[in-house]
Amino acid sequence: PAGAVLGDRYYQKWKPSLGQSWAMTQWGEIGAQTSGSVFYLLTTEPQPPVYNWNPNVDLKVYQQDYNRKYTAYEKDREQWEKCHMLCYTLGYPLGTWFENKFFRNRQYTFGDGLMLTWGRLTGSIYGIFVYDLLSLASDDLKMQSLVQAAGSIGGAIAMDRFILKKDYTTGQSILMFLGAISGGFFAAGIPVILEVDEAKVYDVAAIVGSLGGYYLTSRVIDIRSEANSATKETNSFSIAPTLIPHKNKILPGVNLSMTFD
């Protein structure tokens, strides 16, 4: 209820369009991802004590000591997870504020909002590829998480510049994403055919191929400019609880309705 009340309050204040609302959601998730990654990087995740019994020590005494250490570990772990979740939760409104502060004047359609989603996703994936290309430690999960968060931010900002002064429809944004996926898989398939064993070649091929897919798809579809966009968004999205009869029973369900221009 608190989230619904606050959401309604800020909706009345900011008056975002459907595309702008979607963009705010994406930046909220990016903020949560980034704050969670920073917390993960700056803290030490509690680890369970190692069970290494010495036969020279009484087993019962050792077991009691181990149980005491494990109980302390569980408390530390629970506290760490709570702090991590708190940091993650606080990042969401910060990300939403960031979007409203720096991108509130953008004229986003719902398709534009989806394009930001694709930028965020591909940026995060590129972060993994770049991490591998830099030959960083494969078991350093903290740095991997931070690089992925940085990729999400960079991808969203780059996509915002890419769609500047353009109005993508929902169908066009989906085609753009499919084009990027197809380009990435096609390019990554070439080293497979050539039987290349170097993993970094696949990383570079996937990045170049997906970027090429974005570019080529944008060249073959007719994208409206913001200045010439005379039609209004007709996209709608609604979700509501419902009841579904099934074998003489009434089951809870969800009624999802989506309409695209």
Task: List, for residues 73-109, the tens digit of each pLDDT value.
Answer: 999 999 999 999 999 899 988 998 888 888 878 888 8
For residue 241, the model assigns a pLDDT of 62
Strands (DSSP E) contained in the chain are 166-167, 224-225, 236-246, 249-259
- 22 confidence band (pLDDT: 50, 70, 90): confident
| Distances, alpha carbon 148 to alpha carbons 8, 123, 193, 217, in Å | 32, 8, 29, 25
- 72 confidence band (pLDDT: 50, 70, 90): very high
CA pair distance 245, 253, nearest whole angstrom: 10
CA pair distance 169, 248, nearest whole angstrom: 43
Question: pLDDT over 90 for what percent of the chain?
Answer: 36
- 4 confidence band (pLDDT: 50, 70, 90): confident
For residue 230, the model assigns a pLDDT of 46
Considering the chain, what is the average pLDDT of its residues? Answer: 84
- 231 confidence band (pLDDT: 50, 70, 90): very low
Task: Find out whether 144 and 131 touch, Cβ atoms under 8 Å.
Answer: yes
**45-54, 80-89, 143-152: least confident range:** 45-54
Both tokens of 240, joined, read 């509501």
For residue 144, the model assigns a pLDDT of 86
Task: List, for residues 160-204, the tens digit of each pLDDT value.
Answer: 999 988 889 989 999 999 999 999 999 989 988 888 888 889 989
The stretch 225-251 carries a mean pLDDT of 62
Which residues in 6-31 are b (16+ Cβ under 10 Å) and which e? eeeebeeeeebbbbbbbbbbbbbbbb
The stretch 37-63 carries a mean pLDDT of 84
CA pair distance 46, 76, nearest whole angstrom: 6
Tell me which residue of 244, 241, 224 sits closest to 169, measured CA to CA: 224
Question: What end-to-end distance do the CA atoms of the chain give, in Å?
Answer: 32
Task: Find out whether 163 and 200 touch, Cβ atoms under 8 Å.
Answer: no
The stretch 229-238 carries a mean pLDDT of 52
Both tokens of 219, joined, read 């060249």
**Given a cut of 90, is residue 155 above it in pLDDT?**
yes
